Amino acid sequence: MLFLSLKWSRVRPVVLAVALAGVSLFVLSCTPRSNITPQNQVVVIQRGDLSIDITATGNLAFSEKEGLSFEMAGKVAEVLVEEGDSIEEGQVLARMDTSADSDWQKQLDALYDQIAVAKDKITTAERQVIARERDLLQAQINLQTAQDNLENTPPVQEATDNVTRSEYDLKLARALLDDVKLFMDQSSPQYNTSIQWRQSQVDDAQTKLNEARKILADVQAANRSSTSTDIEIKRLQVELTQGKVEDAQQAIEDAKQSVEDAKDALEEAQNAWEEAKAYKTELAAPFAGVITRVNASSGDQVTKGAVLVEVADDTRFEADVLVSETDIYQLKTGGQASVQIDAMSSASLPARVSRISPTATIQQGVVNYRVKVEMQPVAGMLSGQPGLTGNVSTPFGRQGNLFGRFGDSGNITPGQLPEQAQEALRERGLTQEQIQEMMRNRMAGLPGAGGTGQMPAMGVAQQVQLREGMTVTVTITVEQKTNVLLVPNRAITRQGGQNLVNMQKADGTVESRPIQIGINDFQYTEVLEGLSEGEQVIVTQSTSTNSNSRTQGGQQRFMVPGGGMLR
C-alpha cells in the first residue's frame, strides 16, 4: 500500500534526515540528570549544508523483471532451477523435449508439410490460368461467328425503307404536277414546258418506286426463312458471346492472382518452418539475478508464450510512491532521492526519480501523483566487499551523531528529551522502543556510533539483502545547498517587512541587523546577505548542565549543521 507524501509544512517541506539531525541540538545537552532552563544563547555563524525534502512511503519492487517462455508449445523436459535460486547471465534454466516423437518435432513436421501443400496450390493455380486462356480464345471465336451471322442477314428492312422513300417521292412529284396545272394559265408559253418537266419528275419517281418494290420483293423472296425474330436472336447471341469474352478475361486475371497468393503462402510456410527450426529449446537467463517464480515442472505441457520461469535482477530496485498535488510541482525526473528500508532502519540507500506520472491518482477526493524512484544498484554500493562504503548514510542525514553524546546508557525516557526534540521524534513516527533500539545499535558499533554515517563491514551483507515488497520510506530532495551560511530559525524575527537577527558584538552589546534569507527547513535558514562566517547571533535556547557536554569559556557549546557551535 502506498501513502500520501509527508512534509513539515506547505511552505517549508523539510528533509526528514535534517529534521531529526536537528534534534541533536537538544539531545546533546540531555542526560538523566539534566536540568533544563531557557536562556539567551549565542550561535557562531558557520557554513553547512541544507536541503528541503519530500518524504513518502511505499514498497520495493524489482526494477528489471522478465518472464521467460518457449516460443512453441510442447513438453518440458527438465526445469533446472527453483524459486529463490541465484542465477548467472546465460545460465540454462529449463529445456524442452525435442525427441523424435515429441510435440516439438511433430510441429516442425507439420510446418514442413505445409510447404508441400503450398507448392501443390501453385501448380493447380498455374493450370487454371492455362484453362482460362483457352476459354477466352473459344469465347472470342464464338463472338466473331455471331457477328458474321448478324451481318450476313439479307437487308429486308433496308429494302422496305427504300420503297417507303420512293413512294413518298412519287407522291411529292404528282402534287407538284397538279399545282402547275392548277395555277398556270394554259395559254402561257411556259405551260407546256412546266407540265412536261413535272411529268418527267413523276415518271422518274414512279420508276424508282417500281425498282424499290422489285428489290423489296427480291429480298423478301430471299429471306422467307428469316424473320425479325431471327435477327433479334442473332443480335442477342452477339451480346451474350461478348459477355463470355469479358468473363474469360476476368477469369484469367483471377487465376493469375491465385498463383501469386499460392506463392506468398509458400514463402510464409518456408519462413515459418525456418523460424521454428531456429526456436530455442532452452530457456537461458537474460541477466544475472534471482528466480522469482517457477510455473512448471518436468513433464508438463506448456503452451506457446506461457511464462515458465520468472527472473529478476536482485541488485536493482525501485519504489512507487504517491506525492500530493501541492508537492508534485517541485519534483523533476532525475532528481536525487534516498530510500530507507523500514526493516533496516540504520541504512539509507541512494536513488533517483525515474518517472513522474502525468495523470493524477484520486482516492476519496485526495489528488496525488505516482512517482517512481530507482535505487542505485546494490552491487555498485557493495564494491566487491562484504560491507557498504560511505554510500549508505544514517536515516538522520549528514549529521549522524544524534545519540553520539548520550554517554554509555542505551535507555532513554521521554522525560530526558527537550519538548521540541520529543515533538520532532513524534512527527518522525518513532516509538520509544525504536529509539532505544537505535541507541543499542549505535552503542554496539552500528551506523552513527562514531557519527560517520557509514556502516561497518561486519554484518552489513546480511542487512542489504533487499527483497521485493519491503516497506520503504522515500526521501526526495527538492532543493539542496552546500557550504552556505546557516542561522537558527529562532534567531530570526520579522519586523516591518524585514528579517532581523540580534548580533552579539565584541563589546557585549546587542545590534539588530537585517538579513536576506534563502531556503530553510524547520530548524535552520540559509543566509544570503547580512551575516558573515564567524559572527555571533543571539537565540533563545533550552540548555542544561551535563557532564557529557563540551564547554568553552564557561559556556556550553552544541553542534549545528556544517560544524557550527551553539553556545
Choosing among 3.20.20.330, 3.30.420.610, 2.40.50.100, 2.102.10.10, the CATH entry for 73-96+281-311 is 2.40.50.100
pTM of the predicted structure, to 2 decimals:
0.50
Sort 67 into a burial class: Cβ within 10 Å, 0-12 / 13-18 / 19+: middle
173: left (phi over 0), alpha (psi -120 to 50) or beta: alpha
pLDDT in tens, the chain (567 residues): 333 333 333 333 333 333 333 333 333 333 344 444 456 888 899 999 998 899 999 999 999 999 999 888 888 889 999 999 999 999 999 988 877 777 767 777 787 788 888 888 888 887 887 777 777 777 777 777 767 666 665 555 666 666 677 676 667 666 766 665 655 555 555 666 666 776 777 777 777 767 766 766 666 665 555 555 666 666 777 777 777 777 778 888 888 888 888 888 888 888 876 777 767 888 999 999 999 999 999 889 888 889 999 999 998 999 999 999 999 999 999 999 999 988 877 678 899 999 999 999 999 999 999 999 999 886 555 443 333 333 333 333 333 333 333 333 334 343 344 454 445 555 555 556 555 555 554 444 443 333 333 333 333 334 457 889 999 999 999 998 999 999 999 999 999 899 999 998 888 889 999 999 999 888 899 999 999 999 999 987 654 444 333 333 333 333 334 333 333
Where do the domains of the chain lie? 16-63+314-566, 73-96+281-311, 108-275
Radius of gyration of the chain from its Cα atoms, rounded to whole angstroms: 53
Sign of CA dihedral 498, 502, 505, 509: positive
* Contacts (Cβ under 8 Å, ≥6 apart) of 558: 25, 28, 29, 549, 565, 566, 567
The rounded distance, in Å, linking the Cα atoms of 36 and 540 is 13
The rounded distance, in Å, linking the Cα atoms of 90 and 79 is 15
The rounded distance, in Å, linking the Cα atoms of 262 and 269 is 10
* Contacts (Cβ under 8 Å, ≥6 apart) of 40: 538, 539, 540, 541
The rounded distance, in Å, linking the Cα atoms of 488 and 40 is 13
The rounded distance, in Å, linking the Cα atoms of 538 and 43 is 6
Closest CA to 212 of 176, 293, 158, 153: 158
